Amino acid sequence: MPDSAMPFLVLTRAGFDDVAARVDLARAALYLNPGLLTESEIARLRETGTAVHVMATAVDPLKPQEVQQALLLTRSAGGSVWVERGAPRATPVAKAAERLQPASPAQNPATPLGRRLARSAGVLALDALRRLRAPEHGRRLLAVPYLGFGNTHRIWLKGRLLDEAAFREQSGTDSGWQNLVALYRRLESDEVADARVLARLQAQTFETRTDAGGYFSFDFAPDAPLSPGWHTVELEFPDNVQPDGAALRAQADIKVPAAGARFGIISDIDDTVLWTNVTNKLNMALMLARTNHHTRKPFKGVAGFYRALRDGVSGNEDNPLFYVSSSPWHLYGPLVDFLKLQDIPLGPLLLRELSVRQVLKLTEHGNHKLEQIERIIDFYPGMQFILIGDSGEQDPEIYTEVVRRHPGAVKMIYIRNVNPDPSRIDALDRLIDEVSAVGTQLVLSPDSVFAASHAAAEGLIAVDRLASIRTDKRDDELASPPGTTL
Protein backbone atom coordinates (compact mmCIF):
# COMPACT_ATOMS: atom_id res chain seq x y z
CA MET A 1 0.00 0.00 0.00
CA PRO A 2 1.44 3.42 -0.88
CA ASP A 3 2.34 5.57 2.11
CA SER A 4 -0.16 8.22 0.96
CA ALA A 5 -3.10 5.79 0.68
CA MET A 6 -5.74 6.28 3.37
CA PRO A 7 -7.30 2.94 4.38
CA PHE A 8 -11.10 2.57 4.60
CA LEU A 9 -12.97 -0.41 6.03
CA VAL A 10 -16.19 -0.42 3.98
CA LEU A 11 -18.92 -2.86 4.93
CA THR A 12 -22.04 -1.82 2.96
CA ARG A 13 -22.89 -0.37 -0.44
CA ALA A 14 -24.19 2.80 1.22
CA GLY A 15 -20.86 3.14 2.97
CA PHE A 16 -18.98 2.78 -0.30
CA ASP A 17 -21.16 5.41 -1.98
CA ASP A 18 -20.45 7.74 0.92
CA VAL A 19 -16.67 7.22 0.62
CA ALA A 20 -16.78 7.69 -3.16
CA ALA A 21 -18.59 11.02 -2.73
CA ARG A 22 -16.09 12.31 -0.17
CA VAL A 23 -12.57 11.25 -1.10
CA ASP A 24 -10.27 10.77 -4.06
CA LEU A 25 -10.44 7.00 -4.45
CA ALA A 26 -7.14 6.98 -6.35
CA ARG A 27 -5.49 7.88 -3.02
CA ALA A 28 -7.48 5.35 -0.97
CA ALA A 29 -7.07 1.74 0.07
CA LEU A 30 -10.45 0.03 0.32
CA TYR A 31 -11.09 -3.10 2.40
CA LEU A 32 -14.48 -4.38 1.24
CA ASN A 33 -16.97 -6.97 2.35
CA PRO A 34 -17.21 -9.82 -0.20
CA GLY A 35 -19.94 -9.22 -2.78
CA LEU A 36 -20.17 -5.50 -2.01
CA LEU A 37 -18.96 -4.52 -5.51
CA THR A 38 -19.05 -6.40 -8.78
CA GLU A 39 -15.86 -7.67 -10.38
CA SER A 40 -16.12 -5.06 -13.11
CA GLU A 41 -16.46 -2.27 -10.54
CA ILE A 42 -13.41 -3.54 -8.68
CA ALA A 43 -11.45 -3.74 -11.94
CA ARG A 44 -12.34 -0.13 -12.82
CA LEU A 45 -11.28 1.07 -9.39
CA ARG A 46 -7.93 -0.67 -9.66
CA GLU A 47 -7.38 0.81 -13.11
CA THR A 48 -7.69 4.30 -11.60
CA GLY A 49 -5.11 3.52 -8.88
CA THR A 50 -7.35 2.50 -6.00
CA ALA A 51 -5.95 -0.27 -3.79
CA VAL A 52 -8.86 -2.70 -3.39
CA HIS A 53 -8.82 -5.65 -0.98
CA VAL A 54 -11.83 -7.96 -0.71
CA MET A 55 -11.97 -9.59 2.72
CA ALA A 56 -12.28 -13.36 2.85
CA THR A 57 -15.00 -13.36 5.51
CA ALA A 58 -18.05 -11.11 5.57
CA VAL A 59 -18.15 -8.63 8.47
CA ASP A 60 -21.45 -7.60 10.05
CA PRO A 61 -21.26 -3.82 10.71
CA LEU A 62 -23.65 -4.28 13.65
CA LYS A 63 -21.28 -6.69 15.43
CA PRO A 64 -18.41 -4.74 17.05
CA GLN A 65 -16.29 -7.84 17.64
CA GLU A 66 -16.30 -8.73 13.93
CA VAL A 67 -15.49 -5.13 13.01
CA GLN A 68 -12.62 -5.09 15.52
CA GLN A 69 -11.11 -8.29 14.11
CA ALA A 70 -11.30 -6.89 10.58
CA LEU A 71 -9.75 -3.63 11.75
CA LEU A 72 -6.71 -5.45 13.16
CA LEU A 73 -5.93 -6.85 9.71
CA THR A 74 -6.45 -3.60 7.80
CA ARG A 75 -4.79 -0.87 9.78
CA SER A 76 -1.10 -0.22 9.34
CA ALA A 77 1.17 -0.12 12.38
CA GLY A 78 0.54 3.06 14.35
CA GLY A 79 -1.85 4.41 11.70
CA SER A 80 -5.56 5.14 11.49
CA VAL A 81 -8.36 3.57 9.48
CA TRP A 82 -11.71 5.09 8.52
CA VAL A 83 -14.33 2.59 9.63
CA GLU A 84 -17.92 2.47 8.51
CA ARG A 85 -20.16 2.62 11.56
CA GLY A 86 -23.10 0.24 11.64
CA ALA A 87 -26.39 2.10 11.86
CA PRO A 88 -28.81 1.18 14.70
CA ARG A 89 -31.33 -1.41 13.61
CA ALA A 90 -34.21 1.01 14.19
CA THR A 91 -32.65 3.51 11.75
CA PRO A 92 -31.19 1.53 8.85
CA VAL A 93 -30.11 4.63 6.93
CA ALA A 94 -27.64 6.82 8.80
CA LYS A 95 -26.81 10.40 7.93
CA ALA A 96 -23.91 10.65 5.49
CA ALA A 97 -21.96 12.86 7.87
CA GLU A 98 -22.12 10.17 10.56
CA ARG A 99 -21.37 7.13 8.42
CA LEU A 100 -17.60 7.22 8.75
CA GLN A 101 -15.58 7.60 11.90
CA PRO A 102 -11.79 7.42 12.38
CA ALA A 103 -10.37 4.57 14.43
CA SER A 104 -6.90 4.70 15.92
CA PRO A 105 -5.02 1.98 17.81
CA ALA A 106 -5.34 3.97 21.03
CA GLN A 107 -9.11 4.52 20.81
CA ASN A 108 -10.99 3.44 23.97
CA PRO A 109 -14.68 3.52 24.90
CA ALA A 110 -15.87 6.03 27.44
CA THR A 111 -15.42 4.96 31.07
CA PRO A 112 -17.62 6.12 33.96
CA LEU A 113 -16.03 8.82 36.14
CA GLY A 114 -15.98 6.68 39.28
CA ARG A 115 -14.20 3.84 37.50
CA ARG A 116 -11.65 6.24 35.97
CA LEU A 117 -10.94 7.73 39.41
CA ALA A 118 -10.52 4.27 40.95
CA ARG A 119 -8.22 3.24 38.12
CA SER A 120 -6.17 6.42 38.52
CA ALA A 121 -5.84 5.79 42.25
CA GLY A 122 -4.65 2.27 41.55
CA VAL A 123 -2.04 3.50 39.05
CA LEU A 124 -0.76 6.09 41.52
CA ALA A 125 -0.50 3.47 44.28
CA LEU A 126 1.36 1.10 41.96
CA ASP A 127 3.78 3.83 40.91
CA ALA A 128 4.42 4.69 44.55
CA LEU A 129 5.13 1.05 45.36
CA ARG A 130 7.58 0.84 42.45
CA ARG A 131 9.39 3.95 43.62
CA LEU A 132 9.78 2.38 47.06
CA ARG A 133 11.25 -0.74 45.45
CA ALA A 134 13.91 1.02 43.35
CA PRO A 135 16.78 0.50 43.54
CA GLU A 136 16.54 -3.15 44.56
CA HIS A 137 19.02 -4.14 47.27
CA GLY A 138 19.26 -7.40 49.15
CA ARG A 139 16.16 -9.05 47.67
CA ARG A 140 16.20 -12.10 45.44
CA LEU A 141 15.02 -11.17 41.96
CA LEU A 142 14.54 -13.34 38.90
CA ALA A 143 15.83 -12.36 35.46
CA VAL A 144 14.02 -14.23 32.67
CA PRO A 145 15.82 -13.81 29.32
CA TYR A 146 13.97 -15.16 26.30
CA LEU A 147 15.53 -16.85 23.28
CA GLY A 148 16.59 -14.17 20.80
CA PHE A 149 17.47 -14.18 17.12
CA GLY A 150 19.40 -12.21 14.57
CA ASN A 151 21.48 -12.19 11.44
CA THR A 152 25.21 -11.69 11.00
CA HIS A 153 24.91 -7.94 11.62
CA ARG A 154 21.93 -7.43 13.94
CA ILE A 155 20.51 -8.95 17.14
CA TRP A 156 17.08 -8.85 18.83
CA LEU A 157 16.38 -10.19 22.28
CA LYS A 158 13.83 -9.68 25.03
CA GLY A 159 13.41 -10.62 28.67
CA ARG A 160 11.78 -9.69 31.95
CA LEU A 161 12.83 -8.82 35.51
CA LEU A 162 10.59 -10.23 38.23
CA ASP A 163 10.34 -9.95 41.99
CA GLU A 164 10.47 -13.71 42.40
CA ALA A 165 13.24 -15.98 43.67
CA ALA A 166 12.23 -18.84 41.38
CA PHE A 167 9.32 -20.87 40.09
CA ARG A 168 8.90 -24.36 41.48
CA GLU A 169 9.75 -27.02 38.93
CA GLN A 170 6.63 -28.96 37.95
CA SER A 171 6.41 -32.68 37.26
CA GLY A 172 4.12 -35.17 35.59
CA THR A 173 2.69 -36.19 38.97
CA ASP A 174 1.50 -32.71 39.95
CA SER A 175 -2.18 -32.54 40.90
CA GLY A 176 -4.70 -30.21 39.28
CA TRP A 177 -4.49 -27.96 42.33
CA GLN A 178 -0.68 -27.79 42.12
CA ASN A 179 -0.95 -26.91 38.41
CA LEU A 180 -3.48 -24.20 39.19
CA VAL A 181 -1.29 -22.68 41.91
CA ALA A 182 1.77 -22.74 39.63
CA LEU A 183 -0.20 -21.06 36.83
CA TYR A 184 -1.49 -18.37 39.19
CA ARG A 185 2.03 -17.65 40.48
CA ARG A 186 3.29 -17.18 36.94
CA LEU A 187 0.43 -14.88 35.96
CA GLU A 188 0.63 -12.85 39.16
CA SER A 189 4.43 -12.51 39.28
CA ASP A 190 5.50 -9.02 40.37
CA GLU A 191 7.48 -7.12 37.75
CA VAL A 192 10.38 -4.76 38.50
CA ALA A 193 10.05 -1.54 36.51
CA ASP A 194 12.62 1.10 35.53
CA ALA A 195 15.65 -1.10 36.26
CA ARG A 196 18.89 -0.68 34.30
CA VAL A 197 19.86 -3.62 32.08
CA LEU A 198 23.28 -4.07 30.45
CA ALA A 199 23.87 -6.46 27.54
CA ARG A 200 27.43 -7.47 26.59
CA LEU A 201 28.49 -9.15 23.36
CA GLN A 202 31.91 -9.08 21.66
CA ALA A 203 33.33 -6.66 24.25
CA GLN A 204 30.50 -4.22 23.48
CA THR A 205 28.01 -3.05 26.10
CA PHE A 206 24.48 -1.87 25.39
CA GLU A 207 22.07 -0.44 27.95
CA THR A 208 18.30 -0.16 28.34
CA ARG A 209 15.72 -0.05 31.17
CA THR A 210 12.78 -2.26 32.05
CA ASP A 211 9.34 -0.87 31.22
CA ALA A 212 6.26 -0.73 33.45
CA GLY A 213 5.72 -4.47 32.93
CA GLY A 214 9.29 -5.37 33.85
CA TYR A 215 10.15 -6.17 30.20
CA PHE A 216 13.39 -5.18 28.50
CA SER A 217 14.47 -5.58 24.89
CA PHE A 218 17.57 -4.97 22.77
CA ASP A 219 17.91 -4.44 19.04
CA PHE A 220 21.54 -3.70 18.24
CA ALA A 221 24.30 -4.18 15.68
CA PRO A 222 27.54 -5.78 16.93
CA ASP A 223 30.86 -4.44 15.66
CA ALA A 224 31.99 -7.73 14.10
CA PRO A 225 29.78 -10.05 12.01
CA LEU A 226 28.32 -13.00 13.89
CA SER A 227 28.82 -16.55 12.68
CA PRO A 228 25.80 -18.86 12.23
CA GLY A 229 24.66 -20.75 15.30
CA TRP A 230 23.85 -19.95 18.92
CA HIS A 231 25.52 -17.03 20.71
CA THR A 232 25.40 -15.96 24.35
CA VAL A 233 24.68 -12.41 25.48
CA GLU A 234 25.72 -11.59 29.05
CA LEU A 235 23.10 -9.59 30.96
CA GLU A 236 23.67 -7.55 34.10
CA PHE A 237 21.26 -5.59 36.30
CA PRO A 238 23.72 -3.26 38.08
CA ASP A 239 21.22 -1.60 40.42
CA ASN A 240 19.76 -4.90 41.60
CA VAL A 241 22.12 -6.15 44.27
CA GLN A 242 21.39 -9.68 45.48
CA PRO A 243 21.79 -11.05 49.03
CA ASP A 244 25.37 -12.12 48.25
CA GLY A 245 26.27 -8.49 47.45
CA ALA A 246 26.75 -9.04 43.71
CA ALA A 247 24.68 -7.52 40.95
CA LEU A 248 22.09 -9.80 39.36
CA ARG A 249 23.38 -11.48 36.18
CA ALA A 250 21.88 -13.76 33.54
CA GLN A 251 22.61 -15.10 30.07
CA ALA A 252 20.47 -14.86 26.93
CA ASP A 253 20.86 -17.18 23.94
CA ILE A 254 20.41 -15.87 20.39
CA LYS A 255 20.23 -17.85 17.15
CA VAL A 256 21.78 -16.81 13.83
CA PRO A 257 20.46 -19.08 11.04
CA ALA A 258 22.84 -21.37 9.19
CA ALA A 259 24.28 -20.14 5.91
CA GLY A 260 22.81 -23.19 4.17
CA ALA A 261 19.26 -22.63 5.42
CA ARG A 262 16.84 -22.71 2.46
CA PHE A 263 13.83 -21.31 4.29
CA GLY A 264 12.49 -20.38 7.71
CA ILE A 265 9.47 -21.80 9.50
CA ILE A 266 7.07 -19.57 11.44
CA SER A 267 4.54 -21.55 13.45
CA ASP A 268 1.63 -20.77 15.70
CA ILE A 269 1.57 -22.73 18.98
CA ASP A 270 -2.02 -22.75 20.25
CA ASP A 271 -4.03 -25.48 18.49
CA THR A 272 -1.21 -25.93 15.96
CA VAL A 273 1.61 -27.50 17.98
CA LEU A 274 -0.10 -27.78 21.36
CA TRP A 275 -3.79 -28.38 21.92
CA THR A 276 -5.18 -25.47 23.99
CA ASN A 277 -8.75 -25.09 22.71
CA VAL A 278 -8.04 -21.38 22.33
CA THR A 279 -11.39 -20.78 20.60
CA ASN A 280 -13.16 -21.70 23.86
CA LYS A 281 -11.68 -19.50 26.58
CA LEU A 282 -13.30 -21.40 29.47
CA ASN A 283 -12.03 -24.78 28.28
CA MET A 284 -8.63 -23.23 27.63
CA ALA A 285 -8.49 -21.94 31.21
CA LEU A 286 -9.49 -25.34 32.59
CA MET A 287 -6.86 -27.08 30.46
CA LEU A 288 -4.11 -24.71 31.64
CA ALA A 289 -5.18 -25.19 35.24
CA ARG A 290 -5.36 -29.00 35.06
CA THR A 291 -2.14 -29.75 33.18
CA ASN A 292 1.49 -28.72 32.80
CA HIS A 293 4.24 -29.17 30.21
CA HIS A 294 4.83 -32.77 31.36
CA THR A 295 1.22 -33.85 30.86
CA ARG A 296 0.16 -31.85 27.78
CA LYS A 297 0.58 -33.54 24.43
CA PRO A 298 1.35 -32.14 20.98
CA PHE A 299 -0.80 -32.64 17.92
CA LYS A 300 0.04 -36.05 16.53
CA GLY A 301 3.09 -36.12 14.28
CA VAL A 302 4.03 -32.45 14.80
CA ALA A 303 7.43 -33.23 16.31
CA GLY A 304 8.50 -35.44 13.39
CA PHE A 305 7.16 -33.00 10.79
CA TYR A 306 8.95 -30.00 12.34
CA ARG A 307 12.22 -31.94 12.62
CA ALA A 308 11.92 -32.83 8.94
CA LEU A 309 11.31 -29.18 8.01
CA ARG A 310 14.31 -28.10 10.08
CA ASP A 311 16.55 -30.66 8.36
CA GLY A 312 15.16 -29.96 4.86
CA VAL A 313 15.43 -32.16 1.80
CA SER A 314 19.22 -32.60 2.21
CA GLY A 315 18.93 -33.54 5.89
CA ASN A 316 21.37 -30.89 7.16
CA GLU A 317 19.91 -27.52 6.14
CA ASP A 318 19.24 -26.39 9.75
CA ASN A 319 16.29 -24.27 8.69
CA PRO A 320 15.35 -21.93 11.58
CA LEU A 321 12.04 -22.17 13.43
CA PHE A 322 10.16 -19.31 15.06
CA TYR A 323 7.04 -19.64 17.20
CA VAL A 324 4.53 -16.77 17.26
CA SER A 325 1.67 -17.12 19.72
CA SER A 326 -1.02 -15.14 21.54
CA SER A 327 -0.07 -16.88 24.77
CA PRO A 328 1.36 -14.51 27.42
CA TRP A 329 5.07 -14.29 28.16
CA HIS A 330 4.20 -15.64 31.62
CA LEU A 331 3.97 -19.10 29.99
CA TYR A 332 7.32 -18.85 28.19
CA GLY A 333 9.14 -21.27 30.51
CA PRO A 334 6.54 -24.05 30.36
CA LEU A 335 6.27 -23.69 26.57
CA VAL A 336 10.04 -24.02 26.09
CA ASP A 337 10.07 -27.00 28.44
CA PHE A 338 7.20 -28.55 26.45
CA LEU A 339 9.11 -28.19 23.17
CA LYS A 340 12.18 -29.81 24.73
CA LEU A 341 10.26 -32.68 26.32
CA GLN A 342 8.45 -33.48 23.07
CA ASP A 343 11.65 -33.22 20.99
CA ILE A 344 10.15 -30.42 18.89
CA PRO A 345 12.89 -28.22 17.37
CA LEU A 346 13.59 -25.23 19.58
CA GLY A 347 13.44 -21.69 18.28
CA PRO A 348 12.66 -18.17 19.49
CA LEU A 349 9.17 -17.68 20.89
CA LEU A 350 7.40 -14.34 20.36
CA LEU A 351 4.51 -14.15 22.81
CA ARG A 352 2.21 -11.40 24.10
CA GLU A 353 2.63 -8.89 26.88
CA LEU A 354 -0.51 -9.36 28.98
CA SER A 355 -1.69 -8.60 32.47
CA VAL A 356 -3.43 -11.31 34.47
CA ARG A 357 -6.85 -9.74 33.69
CA GLN A 358 -6.16 -9.90 29.96
CA VAL A 359 -4.80 -13.43 29.70
CA LEU A 360 -7.95 -14.88 28.13
CA LYS A 361 -8.97 -11.75 26.20
CA LEU A 362 -7.38 -12.60 22.88
CA THR A 363 -9.50 -10.42 20.57
CA GLU A 364 -6.43 -8.53 19.34
CA HIS A 365 -4.21 -11.54 18.81
CA GLY A 366 -4.16 -10.91 15.06
CA ASN A 367 -2.39 -7.58 15.36
CA HIS A 368 0.25 -9.09 17.66
CA LYS A 369 0.99 -12.02 15.35
CA LEU A 370 1.18 -9.83 12.27
CA GLU A 371 3.63 -7.45 13.95
CA GLN A 372 5.88 -10.27 15.15
CA ILE A 373 5.92 -12.04 11.78
CA GLU A 374 6.89 -8.78 10.12
CA ARG A 375 9.66 -8.36 12.70
CA ILE A 376 11.09 -11.76 11.70
CA ILE A 377 10.80 -11.05 7.97
CA ASP A 378 12.56 -7.72 8.47
CA PHE A 379 15.60 -9.53 9.90
CA TYR A 380 15.85 -11.94 6.95
CA PRO A 381 14.92 -10.04 3.76
CA GLY A 382 16.44 -12.69 1.47
CA MET A 383 14.76 -15.68 3.13
CA GLN A 384 11.44 -17.30 2.27
CA PHE A 385 9.19 -18.67 5.00
CA ILE A 386 6.74 -21.49 5.56
CA LEU A 387 3.83 -20.34 7.74
CA ILE A 388 1.97 -22.93 9.83
CA GLY A 389 -1.25 -22.36 11.76
CA ASP A 390 -4.83 -23.53 12.23
CA SER A 391 -8.25 -22.48 11.01
CA GLY A 392 -9.77 -22.04 14.46
CA GLU A 393 -9.26 -18.28 14.66
CA GLN A 394 -7.46 -15.80 12.39
CA ASP A 395 -4.25 -17.55 11.28
CA PRO A 396 -5.34 -17.88 7.61
CA GLU A 397 -6.35 -14.21 7.43
CA ILE A 398 -3.16 -13.07 9.15
CA TYR A 399 -0.96 -15.16 6.86
CA THR A 400 -2.82 -13.88 3.80
CA GLU A 401 -2.13 -10.33 4.96
CA VAL A 402 1.56 -11.25 5.24
CA VAL A 403 1.42 -12.42 1.61
CA ARG A 404 -0.21 -9.12 0.60
CA ARG A 405 2.53 -7.11 2.28
CA HIS A 406 5.46 -9.40 1.45
CA PRO A 407 4.40 -11.52 -1.56
CA GLY A 408 7.89 -12.85 -2.23
CA ALA A 409 8.62 -13.81 1.38
CA VAL A 410 6.06 -16.60 1.83
CA LYS A 411 6.95 -19.94 0.28
CA MET A 412 4.08 -22.05 1.64
CA ILE A 413 1.18 -21.86 4.12
CA TYR A 414 -0.03 -24.95 5.98
CA ILE A 415 -3.31 -24.59 7.89
CA ARG A 416 -4.58 -27.34 10.15
CA ASN A 417 -8.31 -27.52 9.42
CA VAL A 418 -10.00 -27.59 12.84
CA ASN A 419 -13.24 -25.77 11.94
CA PRO A 420 -15.62 -27.79 9.69
CA ASP A 421 -18.22 -25.01 9.44
CA PRO A 422 -19.15 -24.61 5.72
CA SER A 423 -18.96 -20.81 5.87
CA ARG A 424 -15.45 -21.07 7.29
CA ILE A 425 -14.43 -23.46 4.50
CA ASP A 426 -15.83 -21.03 1.92
CA ALA A 427 -13.80 -18.21 3.47
CA LEU A 428 -10.65 -20.34 3.34
CA ASP A 429 -11.32 -21.16 -0.33
CA ARG A 430 -11.31 -17.43 -1.08
CA LEU A 431 -7.99 -17.02 0.73
CA ILE A 432 -6.54 -19.96 -1.22
CA ASP A 433 -7.52 -18.25 -4.47
CA GLU A 434 -6.05 -14.93 -3.36
CA VAL A 435 -2.61 -16.20 -2.34
CA SER A 436 -2.36 -18.53 -5.34
CA ALA A 437 -2.60 -15.46 -7.59
CA VAL A 438 0.88 -14.42 -6.40
CA GLY A 439 2.35 -17.92 -6.53
CA THR A 440 1.90 -18.98 -2.90
CA GLN A 441 0.12 -22.17 -1.88
CA LEU A 442 -2.26 -22.29 1.09
CA VAL A 443 -2.79 -25.95 1.97
CA LEU A 444 -5.61 -27.11 4.24
CA SER A 445 -4.36 -30.13 6.14
CA PRO A 446 -6.26 -32.56 8.38
CA ASP A 447 -3.07 -33.68 10.16
CA SER A 448 0.73 -33.55 10.15
CA VAL A 449 1.17 -36.61 7.94
CA PHE A 450 -0.91 -35.00 5.19
CA ALA A 451 1.12 -31.78 5.44
CA ALA A 452 4.38 -33.73 5.45
CA SER A 453 3.39 -35.67 2.33
CA HIS A 454 2.67 -32.41 0.54
CA ALA A 455 5.96 -30.92 1.76
CA ALA A 456 7.86 -33.94 0.46
CA ALA A 457 6.18 -33.61 -2.94
CA GLU A 458 7.18 -29.93 -3.01
CA GLY A 459 10.81 -30.72 -2.22
CA LEU A 460 10.73 -29.13 1.25
CA ILE A 461 11.57 -32.29 3.20
CA ALA A 462 13.19 -35.61 2.34
CA VAL A 463 10.76 -38.27 1.14
CA ASP A 464 12.39 -40.89 3.35
CA ARG A 465 11.32 -38.90 6.45
CA LEU A 466 7.63 -39.68 5.84
CA ALA A 467 7.89 -43.14 7.47
CA SER A 468 9.33 -41.68 10.67
CA ILE A 469 6.62 -38.97 10.75
CA ARG A 470 3.93 -41.65 10.49
CA THR A 471 5.65 -43.58 13.30
CA ASP A 472 5.84 -40.38 15.34
CA LYS A 473 2.09 -39.88 14.86
CA ARG A 474 1.33 -43.48 15.96
CA ASP A 475 3.50 -43.03 19.06
CA ASP A 476 1.61 -39.83 19.92
CA GLU A 477 -1.70 -41.67 19.50
CA LEU A 478 -0.57 -44.39 21.91
CA ALA A 479 0.63 -41.76 24.40
CA SER A 480 -2.63 -39.78 24.31
CA PRO A 481 -5.02 -40.36 27.20
CA PRO A 482 -8.19 -42.30 26.36
CA GLY A 483 -10.84 -40.05 24.86
CA THR A 484 -8.37 -37.34 23.85
CA THR A 485 -8.81 -35.93 20.35
CA LEU A 486 -5.79 -34.21 18.84
Q: What share of the chain is helix, strand, coil (3-state, %, to 5)?
A: 35, 25, 40
The CATH class given to the 133-256 domain equals: mainly beta
Q: How far apart are CA 321 and CA 269, in angstroms?
A: 12
* Residue 479 identity (one-letter amino acid): A
Q: What does the pLDDT profile of the chain (486 residues) look like in tens digits?
A: 444 578 888 999 988 988 888 888 888 888 898 889 988 888 889 888 888 888 877 888 887 767 776 776 665 434 567 887 654 443 333 333 334 444 444 344 444 444 444 444 444 444 444 443 444 445 578 899 999 999 999 999 999 998 764 444 444 454 444 444 454 455 555 788 999 999 999 999 999 999 988 999 999 999 999 999 999 999 999 988 877 788 999 999 999 999 989 999 999 988 788 755 444 444 444 444 444 444 445 678 899 999 999 999 999 999 999 999 888 887 888 888 888 988 999 999 999 886 544 444 444 455 889 999 999 999 999 999 999 999 987 899 999 999 999 999 999 999 998 888 889 999 999 999 999 999 999 999 999 999 999 999 999 999 999 999 998 888 766 665 433 333
Whether the CB-CB separation of 159 and 250 falls below 8 Å is answered with yes
Domain ranges of the chain: 6-84, 133-256, 264-479
Collapsing DSSP to helix, strand or coil, 251 comes out as strand
The CATH class given to the 6-84 domain equals: alpha beta
Whether the CB-CB separation of 298 and 313 falls below 8 Å is answered with no
Whether the CB-CB separation of 372 and 387 falls below 8 Å is answered with no
What's the topology of domain 264-479? Rossmann fold (3.40.50)
Q: How far apart are CA 375 and CA 386, in angstroms?
A: 15
pTM strictly above 0.95? no
Whether the CB-CB separation of 394 and 73 falls below 8 Å is answered with yes
Q: Do domains 6-84 and 264-479 have the same CATH topology?
A: yes
